[in-house]
Amino acid sequence: MAIRFGNRPGRGLAPSAEASPGGGFGDWWAAVAVVALAAVSIVSLAGSTEPAARPDSADTPRLLEALAPATRALGEIESAFSTLCHEPLLVGLELEPDCETGVITLHDELFSTPGGAELSAEGREYVAAAVTTWLARLRRLPAIWESLEAIEIRGHSDPRAYRNPYTTNMVGSQQRALGVLLFLVGDEGVAEEDRETLEQLVMVSGASFSRPPETCPEESRECFGEWRRVEIRPVLSESLRRGDWARTVEDVRRTSLRLRQEASAR
């Protein structure tokens, strides 16, 4: 298969490159750490009018130990996504996933017409190969696969329209995402195992022009080609995320309370 996207703006393969605001798992776990530190402060001050006993430096390892499960979970997810985004076939197709989120972006060049819902012949070949490889790799990455709640196919458009730009482009972006799904689960799409996976997990959405790409957010003719795209996004379990928040804060709360009690007894 010939590579046709030589002029496409590159996405860095380093895990820290071009993270979406609030979209990377690093940002999410940074928030966990903030809440955990807040929990330490609250527990240290609550329940007493006496000056809080000051823990010594020996307490630090025990607090870090309380954060260890969250740290390990973060490391496993980041490692899995980093492995995924370096998959040679996906890199060769220039459809490598984002290294922090695992999202594959299908650019406008893969479609028959600008903003259209139908993939070109070459686009169908590329997308079928990419999704087949992507799913095969996800199955071998337990940190992601075991918590995979859904696969979202999300369409995006540029803001141009004769009238009612938002609603017109909302319909167009949804149709584009649906067109990708119908191809993938159709006769010319992926194999039976992958088709069954998609039928169980996929949801289709459209964003109209509300989420321009970070690489070219300006409302200009030069950027509109990048605005028009479809993303294939792994969605991890929300219940798992909420559970990690709760477990992390509770572990730190209990550890900090125990340290406070021990410090008061000294």
pLDDT of residue 216 exceeding 60, the answer is yes
pLDDT for the residue numbered 52: 46
| Averaged pLDDT for residues 129-158 | 93
The confidence band for 252, taking pLDDT boundaries of 50, 70 and 90, is low
pLDDT for the residue numbered 111: 96
15 inside domain: no
Could you tell me which of 144, 66, 131 has the C-alpha nearest to residue 101?
144
Q: How many domains does the chain have?
A: 1
pLDDT for the residue numbered 246: 53
Q: Is the pTM of this model over 0.75?
A: no
The confidence band for 212, taking pLDDT boundaries of 50, 70 and 90, is very high
pLDDT for the residue numbered 90: 94
The confidence band for 236, taking pLDDT boundaries of 50, 70 and 90, is confident
pLDDT of residue 45 exceeding 70, the answer is no
When the pLDDT of each residue in the chain is averaged and rounded to a whole number, the result is 78
18 inside domain: no
pLDDT for the residue numbered 247: 56
Q: Is 2 helix (H, G, I), strand (E, B) or coil?
A: coil
| Least confident window among 15-29, 129-143, 177-191 | 15-29
Could you tell me which of 97, 117, 128, 133 has the C-alpha nearest to residue 229?
117
pLDDT for the residue numbered 165: 93
In angstroms, the Cα distances linking 254 to 44, 53, 63, 77, 261 are 11, 16, 10, 26, 11
Domain of 126, in residue numbers: 25-47+57-257
182 inside domain: yes
Q: Which two tokens stand for residue 63?
A: 């607090």
19 inside domain: no
The domain spanning residue 84 has which CATH number?
Answer: 3.30.1330.60
| Least confident window among 29-43, 122-136, 194-208 | 29-43
> Quick one: which H or E segment has residue 257?
helix 238-265
The confidence band for 208, taking pLDDT boundaries of 50, 70 and 90, is very high
pLDDT for the residue numbered 223: 93
Residues for the chain: how many in total?
266
Q: Which two tokens stand for residue 194?
A: 């992958």
263 inside domain: no
156 inside domain: yes
168 inside domain: yes
pLDDT of residue 95 exceeding 70, the answer is yes
89 Cβ contact list (under 8 Å, min separation 6): 129, 130, 133
16 inside domain: no
pLDDT of residue 42 exceeding 70, the answer is no
